[in-house]
Structure 1
Protein backbone atom coordinates (compact mmCIF):
# COMPACT_ATOMS: atom_id res chain seq x y z
CA UNK A 1 0.00 0.00 0.00
CA UNK A 2 1.43 3.41 -0.91
CA UNK A 3 1.33 6.27 1.57
CA UNK A 4 -1.30 8.01 -0.55
CA UNK A 5 -3.75 5.18 0.09
CA UNK A 6 -3.84 5.51 3.87
CA UNK A 7 -6.60 7.45 5.68
CA UNK A 8 -4.12 9.64 7.55
CA UNK A 9 -2.24 10.49 4.35
CA UNK A 10 -5.46 11.41 2.55
CA UNK A 11 -6.34 13.79 5.36
CA UNK A 12 -2.86 15.32 5.24
CA UNK A 13 -3.32 15.93 1.51
CA UNK A 14 -6.66 17.64 2.18
CA UNK A 15 -5.03 20.13 4.58
CA UNK A 16 -1.98 20.92 2.44
CA UNK A 17 -1.92 24.35 0.83
CA UNK A 18 -4.25 25.94 3.39
CA UNK A 19 -3.12 28.61 5.84
CA UNK A 20 -4.54 27.31 9.10
CA UNK A 21 -4.72 29.09 12.43
CA UNK A 22 -3.22 27.39 15.53
CA UNK A 23 -6.72 26.26 16.55
CA UNK A 24 -7.36 24.87 13.07
CA UNK A 25 -4.00 23.07 13.09
CA UNK A 26 -5.07 21.48 16.36
CA UNK A 27 -8.28 20.23 14.75
CA UNK A 28 -6.32 18.93 11.75
CA UNK A 29 -3.87 17.15 14.04
CA UNK A 30 -6.71 15.46 15.94
CA UNK A 31 -8.33 14.36 12.69
CA UNK A 32 -5.12 12.76 11.45
CA UNK A 33 -4.69 10.90 14.72
CA UNK A 34 -8.22 9.48 14.44
CA UNK A 35 -8.34 9.28 10.65
CA UNK A 36 -10.51 6.16 10.42
CA UNK A 37 -13.12 7.55 12.85
CA UNK A 38 -13.35 11.17 11.71
CA UNK A 39 -15.84 10.67 8.83
CA UNK A 40 -18.38 9.43 11.40
CA UNK A 41 -17.93 12.12 14.06
CA UNK A 42 -20.35 15.00 14.56
CA UNK A 43 -18.98 18.53 14.76
CA UNK A 44 -19.55 18.45 18.53
CA UNK A 45 -17.64 15.17 18.88
CA UNK A 46 -14.75 16.49 16.77
CA UNK A 47 -14.69 19.67 18.86
CA UNK A 48 -14.44 17.60 22.04
CA UNK A 49 -11.71 15.43 20.49
CA UNK A 50 -9.64 18.48 19.57
CA UNK A 51 -10.45 20.44 22.72
CA UNK A 52 -11.93 23.38 20.80
CA UNK A 53 -15.39 24.94 20.39
CA UNK A 54 -17.99 23.65 17.95
CA UNK A 55 -17.98 26.96 15.99
CA UNK A 56 -14.22 26.50 15.54
CA UNK A 57 -14.91 23.22 13.76
CA UNK A 58 -17.38 24.96 11.45
CA UNK A 59 -14.87 27.73 10.67
CA UNK A 60 -12.24 25.06 10.02
CA UNK A 61 -14.47 23.37 7.44
CA UNK A 62 -15.10 26.71 5.71
CA UNK A 63 -11.34 27.42 5.69
CA UNK A 64 -10.89 24.18 3.73
CA UNK A 65 -13.38 25.37 1.13
CA UNK A 66 -16.57 23.61 2.27
CA UNK A 67 -19.95 25.17 2.99
CA UNK A 68 -19.83 23.81 6.52
CA UNK A 69 -18.91 20.76 8.55
CA UNK A 70 -21.64 18.47 7.08
CA UNK A 71 -20.17 19.05 3.60
CA UNK A 72 -16.68 18.28 4.92
CA UNK A 73 -17.91 15.10 6.58
CA UNK A 74 -19.62 13.94 3.35
CA UNK A 75 -16.36 14.52 1.52
CA UNK A 76 -14.41 12.56 4.12
CA UNK A 77 -16.76 9.60 3.80
CA UNK A 78 -15.98 9.53 0.09
CA UNK A 79 -12.21 9.87 0.24
CA UNK A 80 -11.21 8.31 3.59
CA UNK A 81 -11.93 4.59 3.62
CA UNK A 82 -13.12 3.13 6.89
CA UNK A 83 -10.74 0.69 8.51
CA UNK A 84 -11.47 -2.46 10.50
CA UNK A 85 -13.74 -1.96 13.47
CA UNK A 86 -11.82 -1.07 16.57
CA UNK A 87 -12.47 -2.80 19.89
CA UNK A 88 -14.96 -1.04 22.12
CA UNK A 89 -12.89 1.47 24.07
CA UNK A 90 -15.29 1.07 26.97
CA UNK A 91 -13.97 -2.42 27.57
CA UNK A 92 -10.53 -1.03 28.44
CA UNK A 93 -9.41 0.76 31.57
CA UNK A 94 -7.63 4.11 31.25
CA UNK A 95 -4.17 2.54 31.19
CA UNK A 96 -5.12 0.07 28.48
CA UNK A 97 -6.68 2.88 26.46
CA UNK A 98 -3.38 4.76 26.58
CA UNK A 99 -1.55 1.68 25.27
CA UNK A 100 -4.14 1.16 22.52
CA UNK A 101 -3.77 4.79 21.47
CA UNK A 102 0.00 4.36 21.19
CA UNK A 103 -0.49 1.23 19.09
CA UNK A 104 -2.67 3.29 16.76
CA UNK A 105 0.05 5.96 16.56
CA UNK A 106 2.53 3.27 15.55
CA UNK A 107 0.13 2.02 12.87
CA UNK A 108 -0.07 5.53 11.44
CA UNK A 109 3.73 5.73 11.48
CA UNK A 110 4.01 2.41 9.63
CA UNK A 111 1.53 3.74 7.08
CA UNK A 112 3.60 6.89 6.54
CA UNK A 113 6.80 4.85 6.14
CA UNK A 114 5.25 3.03 3.18
CA UNK A 115 7.04 5.81 1.28
CA UNK A 116 10.56 5.62 2.75
CA UNK A 117 12.07 8.38 0.62
CA UNK A 118 11.61 11.28 3.13
CA UNK A 119 13.44 9.29 5.83
CA UNK A 120 16.13 8.17 3.40
CA UNK A 121 16.63 11.75 2.27
CA UNK A 122 16.88 12.89 5.90
CA UNK A 123 19.38 10.11 6.62
CA UNK A 124 21.63 11.26 3.77
CA UNK A 125 21.45 14.87 4.94
CA UNK A 126 22.43 13.94 8.50
CA UNK A 127 25.18 11.55 7.41
CA UNK A 128 26.82 14.29 5.35
CA UNK A 129 26.84 16.85 8.18
CA UNK A 130 30.17 17.23 10.04
CA UNK A 131 29.53 17.97 12.86
CA UNK A 132 25.92 16.95 13.43
CA UNK A 133 24.07 19.03 16.06
CA UNK A 134 21.02 17.30 17.60
CA UNK A 135 18.53 19.58 19.32
CA UNK A 136 15.77 18.68 21.78
CA UNK A 137 14.48 20.89 24.60
CA UNK A 138 12.19 20.11 27.54
CA UNK A 139 9.87 17.19 26.65
CA UNK A 140 11.97 16.41 23.56
CA UNK A 141 15.30 16.35 25.42
CA UNK A 142 15.12 12.61 26.05
CA UNK A 143 14.50 11.89 22.36
CA UNK A 144 17.47 14.01 21.33
CA UNK A 145 19.69 12.40 23.97
CA UNK A 146 18.76 8.88 22.85
CA UNK A 147 19.43 9.66 19.20
CA UNK A 148 22.74 11.38 19.96
CA UNK A 149 23.90 8.50 22.18
CA UNK A 150 23.52 5.92 19.42
CA UNK A 151 24.49 8.25 16.57
CA UNK A 152 27.86 8.91 18.25
CA UNK A 153 28.73 5.23 17.77
CA UNK A 154 28.70 5.61 13.99
CA UNK A 155 28.97 9.36 13.25
CA UNK A 156 32.36 11.01 13.86
CA UNK A 157 31.05 14.22 15.45
CA UNK A 158 27.63 14.46 17.13
CA UNK A 159 26.83 17.49 19.29
CA UNK A 160 23.88 17.22 21.65
CA UNK A 161 21.93 20.43 22.31
CA UNK A 162 19.43 19.53 25.02
CA UNK A 163 19.58 22.64 27.20
CA UNK A 164 18.34 26.09 26.38
CA UNK A 165 19.69 29.38 27.59
CA UNK A 166 21.72 32.24 26.20
CA UNK A 167 24.48 29.96 24.88
CA UNK A 168 22.23 27.83 22.64
CA UNK A 169 22.60 30.13 19.63
CA UNK A 170 26.35 30.27 20.25
CA UNK A 171 26.56 26.47 20.06
CA UNK A 172 24.56 26.43 16.84
CA UNK A 173 26.85 29.08 15.36
CA UNK A 174 29.90 27.09 16.49
CA UNK A 175 28.59 23.94 14.79
CA UNK A 176 27.99 25.87 11.57
CA UNK A 177 31.47 27.41 11.75
CA UNK A 178 32.96 23.93 12.23
CA UNK A 179 31.37 22.79 8.97
CA UNK A 180 27.93 21.46 9.92
CA UNK A 181 25.48 21.33 7.05
CA UNK A 182 22.39 20.23 8.95
CA UNK A 183 20.72 20.16 12.34
CA UNK A 184 18.38 17.45 13.61
CA UNK A 185 15.61 18.60 15.93
CA UNK A 186 13.16 16.62 18.04
CA UNK A 187 10.11 18.77 18.85
CA UNK A 188 7.27 17.58 21.08
CA UNK A 189 4.41 19.41 22.81
CA UNK A 190 4.30 21.69 24.52
CA UNK A 191 6.59 23.38 22.01
CA UNK A 192 9.04 25.79 23.66
CA UNK A 193 9.39 29.16 21.96
CA UNK A 194 13.13 28.68 22.41
CA UNK A 195 13.04 25.71 20.02
CA UNK A 196 11.51 27.84 17.27
CA UNK A 197 14.08 30.58 17.90
CA UNK A 198 16.91 28.03 17.75
CA UNK A 199 15.68 26.57 14.46
CA UNK A 200 15.33 30.05 13.01
CA UNK A 201 18.93 30.73 14.02
CA UNK A 202 20.07 27.42 12.50
CA UNK A 203 18.55 28.30 9.15
CA UNK A 204 20.07 31.78 9.28
CA UNK A 205 23.44 30.05 9.81
CA UNK A 206 22.87 28.05 6.63
CA UNK A 207 21.95 24.71 8.23
CA UNK A 208 19.33 22.39 6.76
CA UNK A 209 16.82 21.68 9.53
CA UNK A 210 15.44 18.13 9.78
CA UNK A 211 12.71 17.86 12.42
CA UNK A 212 10.92 14.93 14.05
CA UNK A 213 7.69 16.43 15.42
CA UNK A 214 4.35 15.26 16.74
CA UNK A 215 2.45 16.59 13.73
CA UNK A 216 2.93 18.01 10.26
CA UNK A 217 1.05 21.02 11.65
CA UNK A 218 3.34 21.57 14.65
CA UNK A 219 4.62 25.14 15.13
CA UNK A 220 8.14 24.02 14.13
CA UNK A 221 6.94 23.14 10.61
CA UNK A 222 7.45 26.71 9.39
CA UNK A 223 11.12 26.71 10.45
CA UNK A 224 11.97 23.19 9.22
CA UNK A 225 13.27 22.17 5.81
CA UNK A 226 12.20 18.54 6.19
CA UNK A 227 9.63 17.54 8.81
CA UNK A 228 8.94 13.91 9.73
CA UNK A 229 5.73 13.55 11.81
CA UNK A 230 5.02 10.94 14.49
CA UNK A 231 2.09 11.45 16.84
CA UNK A 232 2.30 11.45 20.64
CA UNK A 233 -0.19 9.81 22.98
CA UNK A 234 -2.32 12.21 25.00
CA UNK A 235 -4.42 9.87 27.13
CA UNK A 236 -2.34 10.14 30.31
CA UNK A 237 -1.38 13.11 32.47
CA UNK A 238 1.88 13.37 30.52
CA UNK A 239 2.21 12.71 26.78
CA UNK A 240 3.75 9.44 25.61
CA UNK A 241 6.19 9.42 22.71
CA UNK A 242 6.64 5.86 21.46
CA UNK A 243 6.15 6.79 17.79
CA UNK A 244 8.63 9.73 17.80
CA UNK A 245 11.19 7.51 19.55
CA UNK A 246 10.76 4.75 16.98
CA UNK A 247 10.94 7.24 14.11
CA UNK A 248 14.20 8.49 15.59
CA UNK A 249 15.61 4.94 15.48
CA UNK A 250 14.40 4.53 11.89
CA UNK A 251 16.12 7.79 11.02
CA UNK A 252 19.27 6.50 12.71
CA UNK A 253 19.15 3.41 10.48
CA UNK A 254 18.78 5.61 7.40
CA UNK A 255 21.75 7.70 8.53
CA UNK A 256 23.86 4.57 8.98
CA UNK A 257 23.06 3.63 5.39
CA UNK A 258 24.65 6.93 4.34
CA UNK A 259 27.81 6.44 6.41
CA UNK A 260 30.26 4.10 4.63
CA UNK A 261 32.28 3.50 7.81
CA UNK A 262 29.32 2.88 10.12
CA UNK A 263 29.74 -0.89 10.39
CA UNK A 264 33.48 -0.62 11.00
CA UNK A 265 32.93 1.94 13.76
CA UNK A 266 30.37 -0.36 15.43
CA UNK A 267 32.75 -3.31 15.31
CA UNK A 268 35.55 -1.17 16.73
CA UNK A 269 33.31 -0.06 19.59
CA UNK A 270 32.26 -3.66 20.34
CA UNK A 271 35.90 -4.78 20.44
CA UNK A 272 36.87 -1.99 22.84
CA UNK A 273 33.81 -2.63 25.01
CA UNK A 274 34.70 -6.32 25.27
CA UNK A 275 38.30 -5.52 26.18
CA UNK A 276 37.12 -3.19 28.93
CA UNK A 277 34.46 -5.55 30.22
CA UNK A 278 32.00 -2.72 29.73
CA UNK A 279 28.83 -4.82 29.62
CA UNK A 280 27.67 -7.89 31.54
CA UNK A 281 26.00 -10.73 29.66
Structure 2
Protein backbone atom coordinates (compact mmCIF):
# COMPACT_ATOMS: atom_id res chain seq x y z
CA UNK A 1 0.00 0.00 0.00
CA UNK A 2 1.11 3.56 -0.70
CA UNK A 3 1.92 5.67 2.33
CA UNK A 4 -1.14 7.90 1.81
CA UNK A 5 -3.34 4.78 1.71
CA UNK A 6 -1.73 3.50 4.91
CA UNK A 7 -2.40 6.81 6.64
CA UNK A 8 -6.02 6.78 5.51
CA UNK A 9 -6.48 3.20 6.73
CA UNK A 10 -5.05 3.87 10.21
CA UNK A 11 -5.95 7.53 10.69
CA UNK A 12 -8.89 6.96 13.02
CA UNK A 13 -6.69 4.79 15.27
CA UNK A 14 -3.96 7.40 15.63
CA UNK A 15 -3.60 9.63 18.66
CA UNK A 16 -4.22 13.37 18.15
CA UNK A 17 -0.46 13.97 18.10
CA UNK A 18 0.10 11.18 15.58
CA UNK A 19 -2.69 12.61 13.42
CA UNK A 20 -0.88 15.97 13.39
CA UNK A 21 2.28 14.20 12.28
CA UNK A 22 0.36 12.24 9.62
CA UNK A 23 -1.16 15.47 8.26
CA UNK A 24 2.34 16.92 7.89
CA UNK A 25 3.50 13.83 6.02
CA UNK A 26 0.58 14.07 3.61
CA UNK A 27 1.29 17.75 2.97
CA UNK A 28 4.93 17.08 2.13
CA UNK A 29 5.04 13.72 0.39
CA UNK A 30 6.12 15.27 -2.90
CA UNK A 31 9.31 16.79 -1.44
CA UNK A 32 9.83 14.67 1.66
CA UNK A 33 13.44 13.94 0.71
CA UNK A 34 14.52 17.46 1.68
CA UNK A 35 13.52 16.92 5.32
CA UNK A 36 14.81 14.79 8.16
CA UNK A 37 12.72 13.28 10.95
CA UNK A 38 13.53 16.05 13.43
CA UNK A 39 12.46 18.76 10.96
CA UNK A 40 9.19 16.96 10.22
CA UNK A 41 8.50 16.61 13.93
CA UNK A 42 9.13 20.34 14.37
CA UNK A 43 6.85 21.22 11.46
CA UNK A 44 4.15 18.99 12.97
CA UNK A 45 4.52 20.41 16.47
CA UNK A 46 5.14 16.92 17.88
CA UNK A 47 8.10 15.14 19.41
CA UNK A 48 10.57 13.08 17.40
CA UNK A 49 9.38 10.04 19.37
CA UNK A 50 5.81 10.64 18.16
CA UNK A 51 7.01 10.89 14.58
CA UNK A 52 9.01 7.66 14.92
CA UNK A 53 6.01 5.93 16.48
CA UNK A 54 3.87 7.01 13.51
CA UNK A 55 6.39 5.53 11.05
CA UNK A 56 6.23 2.17 12.84
CA UNK A 57 2.42 2.19 12.95
CA UNK A 58 2.42 2.71 9.20
CA UNK A 59 4.70 -0.29 8.69
CA UNK A 60 8.07 1.46 8.23
CA UNK A 61 11.16 0.73 10.28
CA UNK A 62 12.48 4.30 10.14
CA UNK A 63 12.33 7.59 8.25
CA UNK A 64 14.82 6.44 5.59
CA UNK A 65 12.38 3.71 4.61
CA UNK A 66 9.59 6.30 4.40
CA UNK A 67 11.69 8.46 2.07
CA UNK A 68 12.60 5.52 -0.16
CA UNK A 69 8.96 4.45 -0.34
CA UNK A 70 7.85 7.96 -1.31
CA UNK A 71 10.61 8.15 -3.94
CA UNK A 72 9.54 4.86 -5.54
CA UNK A 73 5.87 5.87 -5.59
CA UNK A 74 6.70 9.25 -7.13
CA UNK A 75 9.04 7.76 -9.75
CA UNK A 76 6.23 5.46 -10.89
CA UNK A 77 4.24 8.54 -11.93
CA UNK A 78 1.75 8.41 -9.09
CA UNK A 79 0.61 11.97 -8.24
CA UNK A 80 1.97 12.50 -4.76
CA UNK A 81 2.46 15.69 -2.83
CA UNK A 82 1.15 19.26 -2.57
CA UNK A 83 -0.17 21.29 -5.44
CA UNK A 84 2.03 23.93 -7.03
CA UNK A 85 1.87 27.26 -5.22
CA UNK A 86 3.07 30.68 -6.31
CA UNK A 87 6.21 30.23 -4.22
CA UNK A 88 6.93 26.97 -6.03
CA UNK A 89 7.02 28.41 -9.54
CA UNK A 90 10.79 28.79 -9.44
CA UNK A 91 11.23 25.10 -8.55
CA UNK A 92 8.90 24.15 -11.39
CA UNK A 93 10.87 26.20 -13.92
CA UNK A 94 14.17 24.76 -12.72
CA UNK A 95 12.80 21.24 -13.17
CA UNK A 96 11.53 22.07 -16.66
CA UNK A 97 14.96 23.38 -17.65
CA UNK A 98 16.62 20.29 -16.23
CA UNK A 99 14.29 18.02 -18.22
CA UNK A 100 15.17 19.85 -21.43
CA UNK A 101 18.88 19.72 -20.60
CA UNK A 102 18.74 15.97 -20.00
CA UNK A 103 16.79 15.43 -23.21
CA UNK A 104 19.39 17.36 -25.18
CA UNK A 105 22.23 15.45 -23.56
CA UNK A 106 20.74 12.04 -24.38
CA UNK A 107 19.55 12.71 -27.95
CA UNK A 108 22.43 12.69 -30.41
CA UNK A 109 22.15 14.29 -33.86
CA UNK A 110 22.54 10.96 -35.69
CA UNK A 111 19.57 9.36 -33.94
CA UNK A 112 17.48 12.49 -34.39
CA UNK A 113 18.28 12.57 -38.12
CA UNK A 114 17.44 8.87 -38.50
CA UNK A 115 14.09 9.44 -36.81
CA UNK A 116 13.06 12.48 -38.82
CA UNK A 117 14.15 10.87 -42.11
CA UNK A 118 12.13 7.74 -41.35
CA UNK A 119 9.07 9.85 -40.51
CA UNK A 120 9.50 11.86 -43.70
CA UNK A 121 9.80 9.00 -46.20
CA UNK A 122 7.46 6.36 -44.70
CA UNK A 123 4.33 5.70 -46.78
CA UNK A 124 2.34 5.44 -43.53
CA UNK A 125 3.11 6.73 -40.05
CA UNK A 126 1.15 5.25 -37.15
CA UNK A 127 1.31 6.98 -33.77
CA UNK A 128 0.37 4.98 -30.66
CA UNK A 129 -0.30 6.58 -27.30
CA UNK A 130 -2.17 5.39 -24.23
CA UNK A 131 -3.40 7.27 -21.17
CA UNK A 132 -1.23 10.39 -20.66
CA UNK A 133 0.69 9.58 -23.83
CA UNK A 134 -2.37 9.86 -26.08
CA UNK A 135 -2.37 13.70 -26.25
CA UNK A 136 1.28 13.56 -27.29
CA UNK A 137 0.42 11.22 -30.17
CA UNK A 138 -2.40 13.55 -31.20
CA UNK A 139 -0.13 16.57 -31.16
CA UNK A 140 2.58 14.89 -33.23
CA UNK A 141 -0.07 13.86 -35.77
CA UNK A 142 -1.34 17.43 -36.01
CA UNK A 143 2.20 18.69 -36.58
CA UNK A 144 3.17 16.04 -39.13
CA UNK A 145 -0.04 16.43 -41.13
CA UNK A 146 0.99 19.99 -41.88
CA UNK A 147 3.83 18.70 -44.05
CA UNK A 148 2.97 15.09 -45.02
CA UNK A 149 -0.13 12.89 -45.50
CA UNK A 150 -1.00 9.43 -44.15
CA UNK A 151 -0.40 9.98 -40.44
CA UNK A 152 -2.73 8.02 -38.18
CA UNK A 153 -3.14 7.89 -34.41
CA UNK A 154 -4.39 4.98 -32.33
CA UNK A 155 -6.14 3.72 -30.35
CA UNK A 156 -9.24 5.65 -31.31
CA UNK A 157 -12.15 5.58 -28.81
CA UNK A 158 -13.92 2.24 -28.99
CA UNK A 159 -11.43 0.83 -31.47
CA UNK A 160 -8.85 -1.96 -31.21
CA UNK A 161 -5.28 -1.97 -32.48
CA UNK A 162 -5.36 -5.04 -34.71
CA UNK A 163 -6.80 -3.29 -37.73
CA UNK A 164 -4.33 -0.42 -37.30
CA UNK A 165 -1.29 -2.71 -37.32
CA UNK A 166 -2.53 -5.07 -40.05
CA UNK A 167 -1.10 -4.17 -43.44
CA UNK A 168 1.91 -2.24 -42.17
CA UNK A 169 5.20 -3.14 -43.84
CA UNK A 170 8.93 -2.59 -43.78
CA UNK A 171 8.73 0.92 -45.21
CA UNK A 172 6.24 2.19 -42.63
CA UNK A 173 6.96 3.70 -39.21
CA UNK A 174 5.20 3.20 -35.87
CA UNK A 175 5.89 5.73 -33.13
CA UNK A 176 4.99 4.51 -29.65
CA UNK A 177 4.78 6.93 -26.75
CA UNK A 178 5.60 4.80 -23.72
CA UNK A 179 5.68 7.12 -20.73
CA UNK A 180 5.23 5.69 -17.26
CA UNK A 181 1.94 4.26 -16.06
CA UNK A 182 1.63 2.48 -19.39
CA UNK A 183 -1.03 -0.22 -19.90
CA UNK A 184 0.10 -3.66 -18.77
CA UNK A 185 0.32 -5.07 -22.31
CA UNK A 186 2.49 -2.30 -23.74
CA UNK A 187 5.51 -4.50 -24.45
CA UNK A 188 3.35 -6.93 -26.42
CA UNK A 189 2.02 -4.04 -28.51
CA UNK A 190 5.57 -2.86 -29.23
CA UNK A 191 6.61 -6.37 -30.22
CA UNK A 192 3.53 -6.76 -32.45
CA UNK A 193 4.33 -3.47 -34.18
CA UNK A 194 7.92 -4.61 -34.75
CA UNK A 195 6.70 -7.95 -36.11
CA UNK A 196 4.92 -6.17 -38.98
CA UNK A 197 8.35 -5.23 -40.35
CA UNK A 198 7.73 -1.52 -39.80
CA UNK A 199 10.37 0.59 -38.10
CA UNK A 200 9.43 1.35 -34.50
CA UNK A 201 10.33 4.52 -32.62
CA UNK A 202 9.87 4.28 -28.86
CA UNK A 203 9.68 7.57 -26.93
CA UNK A 204 9.44 7.34 -23.16
CA UNK A 205 10.93 8.20 -19.79
CA UNK A 206 13.58 6.15 -18.02
CA UNK A 207 11.03 3.53 -16.94
CA UNK A 208 10.81 2.41 -20.59
CA UNK A 209 14.53 1.65 -20.95
CA UNK A 210 13.87 -2.06 -20.47
CA UNK A 211 11.67 -1.94 -23.60
CA UNK A 212 14.23 -0.16 -25.78
CA UNK A 213 15.72 -3.37 -27.18
CA UNK A 214 12.38 -4.16 -28.85
CA UNK A 215 12.36 -0.88 -30.81
CA UNK A 216 14.30 0.25 -33.88
CA UNK A 217 14.95 3.66 -32.31
CA UNK A 218 14.78 4.62 -28.62
CA UNK A 219 14.46 8.23 -27.45
CA UNK A 220 14.49 8.90 -23.72
CA UNK A 221 12.59 12.00 -22.64
CA UNK A 222 12.40 13.07 -18.96
CA UNK A 223 9.00 13.99 -17.54
CA UNK A 224 9.95 14.62 -13.91
CA UNK A 225 7.80 17.24 -12.21
CA UNK A 226 8.71 19.48 -9.30
CA UNK A 227 5.41 18.63 -7.64
CA UNK A 228 2.68 16.02 -7.75
CA UNK A 229 2.22 15.46 -11.47
CA UNK A 230 4.56 14.57 -14.30
CA UNK A 231 5.49 17.32 -16.73
CA UNK A 232 5.35 16.75 -20.48
CA UNK A 233 6.97 20.06 -21.42
CA UNK A 234 10.14 18.38 -22.70
CA UNK A 235 8.08 15.79 -24.61
CA UNK A 236 6.13 18.54 -26.36
CA UNK A 237 9.40 20.27 -27.19
CA UNK A 238 10.72 17.02 -28.67
CA UNK A 239 7.62 16.77 -30.85
CA UNK A 240 8.33 20.24 -32.21
CA UNK A 241 11.91 19.24 -33.03
CA UNK A 242 10.77 16.05 -34.78
CA UNK A 243 8.09 17.82 -36.84
CA UNK A 244 10.50 20.55 -37.89
CA UNK A 245 13.06 17.91 -38.85
CA UNK A 246 10.50 16.13 -41.02
CA UNK A 247 9.60 19.38 -42.75
CA UNK A 248 13.26 20.07 -43.48
CA UNK A 249 13.78 16.51 -44.75
CA UNK A 250 10.86 16.81 -47.16
CA UNK A 251 12.13 20.06 -48.63
CA UNK A 252 9.92 21.50 -51.33
CA UNK A 253 7.34 18.72 -51.05
CA UNK A 254 6.84 19.58 -47.40
CA UNK A 255 6.57 23.30 -48.09
CA UNK A 256 4.03 22.64 -50.85
CA UNK A 257 1.98 20.57 -48.42
CA UNK A 258 2.05 23.38 -45.84
CA UNK A 259 0.83 25.82 -48.51
CA UNK A 260 -1.95 23.47 -49.61
CA UNK A 261 -3.11 22.91 -46.04
CA UNK A 262 -3.12 26.65 -45.36
CA UNK A 263 -5.12 27.21 -48.54
CA UNK A 264 -7.67 24.61 -47.41
CA UNK A 265 -7.96 26.37 -44.04
CA UNK A 266 -8.71 29.60 -45.85
CA UNK A 267 -11.28 28.10 -48.19
CA UNK A 268 -13.10 26.41 -45.31
CA UNK A 269 -12.81 29.40 -43.00
CA UNK A 270 -11.58 27.07 -40.24
CA UNK A 271 -8.74 29.11 -38.81
CA UNK A 272 -9.12 32.59 -37.41
CA UNK A 273 -6.38 34.89 -38.60
TM-score with structure 1 setting the length: 0.62
- The worse-fitting range, judged by mean Cα deviation, of 94-103 and 120-129 is 94-103
What runs of 5+ residues in structure 1 fail to find an aligned partner? Answer: 1-43, 53-91
Give me the whole-angstrom Cα distance separating, in 1, the residues matched to 2:106 and 2:246. 18
- Is the counterpart of residue 204 in structure 1 residue 195 in structure 2? yes
Residues 72-221 of structure 1 aligned to structure 2 (within 5 Å): 93-113=87-107, 115-163=108-156, 167-174=160-167, 176=168, 180-215=171-206, 218-221=209-212
- Does residue 51 of structure 1 match 2:71? yes
The 1:110–1:222 alpha-carbon spacing in structure 2 relative to 1, beyond 3 Å, is: closer
Contact 1:216 1:229 in 2 (8 A): no
Once residues 145 and 238 of structure 1 are traced to their aligned partners in structure 2, the CA distance between those partners, rounded to angstroms, is 20
- Secondary structure at the aligned position of 1:51 is classed as helix
Deviations 1:58-109 (A, max 9, x none): xxxxxxxxxxxxxxxxxxxxxxxxxxxxxxxxxx834432332112111222
The residue that corresponds to 1:267 in the other structure is 259
Check 1:245–1:189 CA distance in 2 against 1; reply closer, same or farther (3 A cut): same
Q: Secondary structure of 1:147's match?
A: helix
Distance in structure 2 (CA, Å) of the matches to 1:219 and 1:123: 23
Maintained 8 Å contact 2:147/2:258: yes
**Aligned-pair RMSD on alpha carbons?**
2.8
Segments of structure 2 that go 5 or more residues without pairing to the other structure are 1-63, 73-85
Matched, 1:241 2:232: yes
Tell me, yes or no, if structure 1 residue 228 matches structure 2 residue 248. Answer: no
Question: Shift in Å at residue 229 of structure 1?
Answer: 1.1
Report the secondary structure of 1:133's partner residue.
strand
**TM-score between both structures, scaled by the size of structure 2:** 0.63
Shift of residue 217, structure 1, vs aligned partner = 5.0
Structure 2 residue matching 1:185: 3-state secondary structure: strand
For residues 52-71 of structure 1, the aligned pairs below 5 Å read: none
CA shift for structure 1 position 195: 2.5
Q: Which moved more, 1:128-137 or 1:231-240?
A: 231-240
Q: Does the 8 A contact of 2:179 with 2:208 survive in 1? A: no
Give the conservation status (yes or no) of the 8 Å contact 1:213–1:230: yes
SS at match of 2:166: helix
Distance 2:153 2:161 in 1: 11
Q: How many aligned positions are there?
A: 196
